Chain A
């Protein structure tokens, strides 16, 4: 069965600084990978996903993540964060099988301050 580890529960950063949120997964088969974002008092929404093909995937608001199979990682990065990026970010994984459910990490709270 798959599992996800988000190494940082909280990441404080100043506005306009770069940020990286780390995600590692464990699986014995090929996987799909996702980043979801949760703004305060809201449900989760998809930020970006890797299904196949190019290992670098981008979101419309400047985030990107790179699938690294050898390191079993899918870290999320942004070169310059805004106050509005303050939210909780969840990495999730599912295996390439017809019956795999989506497994979420415990989340990383990104705190952007002026």
Chain B
């Protein structure tokens, strides 16, 4: 299994509070991704990173920010959580750019509930 961990694995928070999810990898892969998974929507890309301090927006980036200060860590922040952000969040990594055909390896997911 690819060395990807996500923390926390479960979180319940209240509307309006800030939340940070962490993705940590031990594979030294360049590319990292954050997705959200919702019933009937499959996986949707939130943000991705192509190197330290290099990030870009995905399909559903509104309300989310990311940071990558080290190769191994990619943080996803919800500045002010809303109920619509209740979801399962997956981190993924790839050695080469996934749009070029490279396999993505997924973490175990974080289940976030915003009440």
Q: Which residues of A contact B (CB under 8 A)?
A: 6, 9, 32, 34, 41-46, 49, 51, 90, 94-95, 97-102, 104-107
Q: Which residues of B contact A (CB under 8 A)?
A: 4, 40-45, 48, 58-59, 90, 92, 97-101, 103-109
Shortest CB-to-CB span from A98 to chain B, Å, is 7
Question: Does A46 contact B90, Cβ atoms closer than 8 Å?
Answer: no
Shortest CB-to-CB span from B72 to chain A, Å, is 17
Question: Does A104 contact B99, Cβ atoms closer than 8 Å?
Answer: no
Q: What secondary structure prevails in chain A residues at the interface with B?
A: loop
Shortest CB-to-CB span from B37 to chain A, Å, is 9
Most chain-B CB neighbours within 10 Å: which of A9, A49, A94, A98?
Answer: A94
Q: Tell me which residues across on chain A come within 8 A of B98, comparing CB atoms.
A: 94, 101-102
Question: Does A94 contact B99, Cβ atoms closer than 8 Å?
Answer: yes
Question: Does B43 contact A99, Cβ atoms closer than 8 Å?
Answer: no
Shortest CB-to-CB span from A107 to chain B, Å, is 5
Shortest CB-to-CB span from A84 to chain B, Å, is 18
Q: Which residue of B is nearest A99, CB measured?
A: B99
Q: Which residue of B is nearest A102, CB measured?
A: B98
Given A32-B101, A95-B99, A101-B48: A43 touches B106 (CB 8 Å cut-off): yes
